[in-house]
Amino acid sequence: MAQLIDGKLISQQIKDELKEEVAQFKAEGIDICLAVIQVGSDPASSVYVRNKKKACAYIGVESRSYELPEETSEEELIKLVEELNADESVNGILVQLPVPDHIDEDKIIRTISPDKDVDGFHPVSVGRLWIGEKGFLSCTPAGIIQLLKRSNISIEGKECVIIGRSNIVGKPMAALLLRENGTVTVAHSRTKDLKEVAKRADILIVAIGKERFITSEYIKEGAVVIDVGMHRDEANHLCGDVDFADVEPHSSAITPVPGGVGPMTIAMLMNNCVETVRK
User: Which segment (31-39, 74-82, 130-138, 162-170) binds ligand NAP by CB under 6 A?
Assistant: 162-170
CB of 260 to ligand NAP, least distance (A): 8
User: Helices 170-179 and 139-150 sit at what angle, rounded to 10 degrees?
Assistant: 40
Among 92, 120, 141, 170, binds ligand NAP (CB under 6 A): 170
CA distances from 107 to 39, 77, 110 (A): 15, 10, 5
Q: For residue 43, say if its preceding peptide bond is cis, omega within 30 degrees of 0.
A: no
The catalytic site residues sit at 52, 96, 119
Q: 135 or 164: whose CB is closer to ligand NAP?
A: 164
Q: 54 or 79: whose CB is closer to ligand NAP?
A: 54
CA distances from 140 to 7, 57, 173, 247 (A): 12, 21, 8, 22
According to DSSP, residue 168 is labeled: T
Task: Looking at residues 218 to 257 of the shown chain, list those that interact with ligand NAP (rule: CB under 6 A).
Answer: 228-230, 241
Task: Tell whether residue 164 is among the known ligand binding residues.
Answer: yes
| Own/partner pairs, 46-49, CB within 8 angstroms, 24+ separation | 48/96, 49/96
CB of 140 to ligand NAP, least distance (A): 4
Alpha helices, DSSP H, located in the chain: 7-27, 43-59, 74-86, 105-111, 123-131, 139-150, 170-179, 194-198, 244-247, 262-275
Task: Tell whether residue 40 is among the known ligand binding residues.
Answer: no
Q: Any contact of residue 209 with ligand NAP (CB under 6 A)?
A: yes
CA distances from 267 to 18, 56, 140, 262 (A): 9, 10, 9, 10
Per-residue mark of binding to ligand NAP, 107-146 (x: CB under 6 A) = ---------------------------------x------
Task: Looking at residues 34 to 93 of the shown chain, list those that interact with ligand NAP (rule: CB under 6 A).
Answer: none
The C-alpha atoms of residue 180 and residue 205 are separated, in whole angstroms, by 15
Q: What is the pairing mode between strands 3-4 and 33-39?
A: unpaired
User: Which segment (35-43, 60-68, 85-93, 201-209) binds ligand NAP by CB under 6 A?
Assistant: 201-209
253, containing H or E segment? strand 251-254
User: Helices 139-150 and 7-27 sit at what angle, rounded to 10 degrees?
Assistant: 110
Q: Any contact of residue 172 with ligand NAP (CB under 6 A)?
A: no
Per-residue mark of binding to ligand NAP, 254-273 (x: CB under 6 A) = -------xx--x--------
Task: Tell whether residue 166 is among the known ligand binding residues.
Answer: yes
Among 24, 152, 189, 236, binds ligand NAP (CB under 6 A): 189
Q: Any contact of residue 192 with ligand NAP (CB under 6 A)?
A: no
Q: Which residues are annotated as a binding site?
A: 164-166
Binding site for ligand NAP (CB under 6 A): 140, 163-166, 168-170, 187-191, 194, 207-210, 228-230, 241, 261-262, 265
Q: Which residues are annotated as a binding site for NADP(+)?
A: 164-166
